[in-house]
Structure 1
Amino acid sequence: MYIEEIKQAAAYLNDRLQHQPTTGLILGSGLGVLADEITDPVVIPYGDIPHFPQSTVAGHKGQLVAGTLEGRHVIAMQGRFHYYEGYSMKQVTFPVRVMKELGVETLIVTNAAGGINVTFEAGNLMVITDHINQMGDNPLLGANEEALGERFPDMSQAYDRELIEHANRCAEHLSLTVQNGVYVGNTGPAYETAAEIRMLRTLGGDAVGMSTVPEVVAANHAHMRVLGISCISNMAAGILDQPLTHDEVIETTAQVREDFLGFVKHIVNTLPEKY
């Protein structure tokens, strides 16, 4: 049934897309502005797509935008789905499965995250080198669909090393200082306590958020290459002794808009041919 739903959603989109996308983009809180840079866009609200969930969070428009970005055929999620919204892990990762069915082989996942590493600052961009799943769930639980991927996928290079190197070269070319680090995925929707942040730092986390991990697990299961980028929208609890709000997340992502846009567009523009 799940595979049939994926195929039905992909068929609906194929009938409306002008080109087959090769690169997928998942745009996190406040970062959907990148989709506005896509030329000759085909905009499809999630509500029109068979079996698609709906975005319920501020800063997530809730639509797919397909077209051309820096000479590449892309499809972008302008808003994602979160586990804390009450969706199952399979629903959260449904768009990744549909992208794969459409022919997408490279996935760029973005998010807004809280800084755990005390050398980070709000407004930094971080290339994700690895992640820690603290969500207590996994999109691959249950019967495995062999048509989607093998039972036990390798996650030792969940974030493609060549894409990480490529992103860092792009940052250097743009004279843009970016961090590299480990992303921790929590369920949310409450922000972490100061004690929890100290624990996550001990575990090796550099940034924390409420998304990304399920999508990256599903993408690896589907043998997609993944690049992850976090916008450090605030320093996590206990570091600056100030309350955390979603408004601050949106405000910070707006402030770094030009750096974020320039960075991702240059990454896409200079992707090696095999990607």
Structure 2
Amino acid sequence: MSHSVEVYAPQNWTVEQWNFVVWSEGAPSNTFGRSYATADWLLTQTAVRPLVGIVCGSGLGGLADLLKDQVAFNYRDIPNFPQSTVHGHAGRLVFGTLKGRPCVCMQGRFHLYEGYPIQKITLPMRIFKLMGVETVILTNAAGGLNQDYKVGDIMIIKDHLNMPGFAGNNPLAGPNDERFGVRFPCMSDAYDRELQQLAVDVGTELGYRDFLREGVYCVLGGPSFETIAECRMLHKLGADAVGMSTVHEVIVARHCGMRVFALSLITNQAVMDYDSEEKANHEEVLQTGKQRAEQLERLVSTMVTRIEYNNNYS
């Protein structure tokens, strides 16, 4: 195992003790044990020691194809890993280098609406941490609530509204494992401001300012798209875009002490008018992803080369 994992391991534990923690029903350290075992398994299968973890949203899996010297695993072949069930999510974990930087990329993520417990859909974030990842970059497809947004805009997420969390559905609910983070983590700095500024700078250099935005992302449970009344309410609450992912991963990543940067690709305009004939649909989401994917990939890959590593972020 790499040093980044060993710092979390209890001293003098035997393999039998680890196996007990991983597989015992109801063991208090079960999540840590499963995360540790999976990270250990992955690191024995590849020489890449990733510093950046990238999560690809609907239609945005092409980011992983940019990695050089790839070592890829289907989710179904990874111990303890959930399975992606959504069209547009390939379901692969890809290791490699992006312009010389060691990375791991999720081609497809997991959602509440797939029926997984919230702790399971965020398990990859803890596995990232135990593999040595310092910075997490998340992308998603989202509906635009801000009336100034256009389909194809890229929104830098500066903050979020966690609607499932208002009802107590938070990935940190239950016993806290201090090996990952504190009981009550701060979320006012969930999205790293330096990385937001870096995205603006890189986007300006690449000529993307006409479609690069900054805004607030709201997560809902899904899988049904929002009603008109819901869209109007969320917009009044301050949300610029709405989707069904990302926020839960952000909370766990920050709990683990990783830096977080996130982007939304605005793939449809949320319906806000009862006279409108428009209807949200998943095919439109995937099509917009294809059209803008190359530019989004260039933005992210350029950012990765400029991120500074080996700092103590918390």
Per the normalisation by structure 1, the TM-score is: 0.98
- Give the equivalent residue in structure 2 for 1:151: 183
Q: Quick one: structure 1 residues 93 and 63, their matched pair in 2 at CA, closer, same or farther if it must change by over 3 Å?
A: same
Q: Are 2:136 and 1:107 equivalent residues in the alignment?
A: yes
Between the aligned residues of both structures, percent identity stands at 46
CA contact (8 A) 1:18 1:67 kept: no
- Give the equivalent residue in structure 1 for 2:271: 237
Matches within 5 A, 1:145-184: 145-177=177-209, 178-184=212-218
Whole-angstrom CA distance in 2 between matches of 1:241 and 1:146: 51
Matches within 5 A, 1:187-226: 187-226=221-260
Cα shift at 1:253: 0.5
Q: Are 2:95 and 1:66 equivalent residues in the alignment?
A: yes
What is the SS of the residue equivalent to 2:45? coil
Whole-angstrom CA distance in 1 between matches of 2:248 and 2:152: 24
- Give the equivalent residue in structure 2 for 1:259: 295
- Give the equivalent residue in structure 2 for 1:270: 306
Whole-angstrom CA distance in 1 between matches of 2:204 and 2:49: 31
The unaligned stretches of length 5 or more in structure 1 are none
The unaligned stretches of length 5 or more in structure 2 are 1-29
1:139 paired residue among 171, 185, 192: 171
Cα shift at 1:261: 1.3
What is the SS of the residue equivalent to 1:75? strand
What is the SS of the residue equivalent to 1:12? helix
> Where in structure 1 do 4 or more consecutive aligned residues deviate above 6 Å?
none
Cα shift at 1:238: 2.3
Whole-angstrom CA distance in 1 between matches of 2:45 and 2:230: 46
CA contact (8 A) 1:113 1:230 kept: yes
Cα shift at 1:273: 4.3
Q: Deviations over 1:127-183 (max 9, x none)?
A: 000000012310000111111110000101100011101111110111102000000
Whole-angstrom CA distance in 1 between matches of 2:108 and 2:278: 27
Whole-angstrom CA distance in 2 between matches of 1:169 and 1:93: 30
Give the aligned CA root-mean-square deviation in angstroms.
Answer: 1.0
What is the SS of the residue equivalent to 1:198? helix
- Give the equivalent residue in structure 2 for 1:116: 145
